[in-house]
Amino acid sequence: MTSELHVAMAVLAYIDPGSGSFILQVVVGTLLGASVALKMYWARLRAYFVSRGERNDGDADRGA
């Protein structure tokens, strides 16, 4: 029992939680990065249509 405990503690001392943190960061980071990219493109797309809309309104104003 005691020796088992020693082995368990020795194993625990060599466990490196850093690896799992890196792997998770790759997986979760990819997902979150994709959502940031989507938001950015969406904002650009909106800005494009809004500015086009404003230009058209401006043309309409000048026409009137």
Q: Which positions touch other proteins (CB under 8 A)? A: 14-37
Q: How far is the CB of 18 from other proteins (least distance, A)?
A: 6
Q: Which two tokens stand for residue 38?
A: 């989507």
Q: Specify the residue, 32 or 50, whose C-beta has the smaller distance to other proteins.
A: 32
Q: How many CA atoms lie within 13 A of 17 on its CB side?
A: 2
Q: Which two tokens stand for residue 2?
A: 């005691």
First-last CA distance in the chain: 93
Q: How far is the CB of 58 from other proteins (least distance, A)?
A: 34
Q: Specify the residue, 9 or 22, whose C-beta has the smaller distance to other proteins.
A: 22
